[in-house]
Each structure stands twice: as structure tokens, then as C-alpha cells.
């Protein structure tokens, strides 16, 4: 898996996976609590612009071009 956290500390790796799940579900208070625990363990997050997942999410948020259904005249 290329999305697995790159760390030697198993606790930090578990926290990163937990944080990702909370972030996907929009649970911002939980994300903040996990961030606090990561900070206490000395983890420094990589810069946001370099993450692969962020680039994919911005591409998927663009509107899709769809045609309107044909109107019936009956």
C-alpha cells in the first residue's frame, strides 16, 4: 500500500491512520485531538502541497459536464 504512513513508530502510524479516517468523515474535533497526540510524540506533518491524496481530491471536486435530460412535449 502506498498510502501507509512512513514512520518507524507504530503508535504514530496508528494515529495517522486514525486521523485519516476522522478527516474523511469530517470529524474535525477528533482530527484536532489526534493532531495533539501526534505533536506530543514529536511527529511533524509533511507539507500539504506535496501529498498525493490532496492532488487527487482537488481533481475530483471539479464539476462534471453533464447534459440536461431531453424535455418531453406530451
Domain boundaries, the chain: 8-42
| Among candidate residues 33, 10, 8, 9, the one with its CA nearest the CA of residue 21 | 33
Residues of the chain with pLDDT > 70: what percent?
66
Specify the pLDDT at position 50: 47
The CA distance from 70 to 48, in Å, is 43
Rounded Cα gap, residues 41 and 37, in angstroms: 6
pLDDT exceeds cutoff 70 at 61: no
Amino acid at each position: 500500500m502506498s498510502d501507509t504512513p512512513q514512520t518507524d513508530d507504530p503508535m504514530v502510524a496508528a494515529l495517522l491512520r486514525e486521523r485519516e479516517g476522522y478527516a474523511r468523515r469530517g470529524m474535525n474535533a477528533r482530527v484536532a485531538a489526534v493532531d495533539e497526540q501526534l505533536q506530543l510524540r514529536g511527529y511533524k506533518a509533511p507539507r500539504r502541497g506535496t501529498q498525493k491524496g490532496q492532488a487527487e481530491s482537488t481533481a475530483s471536486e471539479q464539476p462534471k459536464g453533464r447534459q440536461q435530460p431531453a424535455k418531453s412535449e406530451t
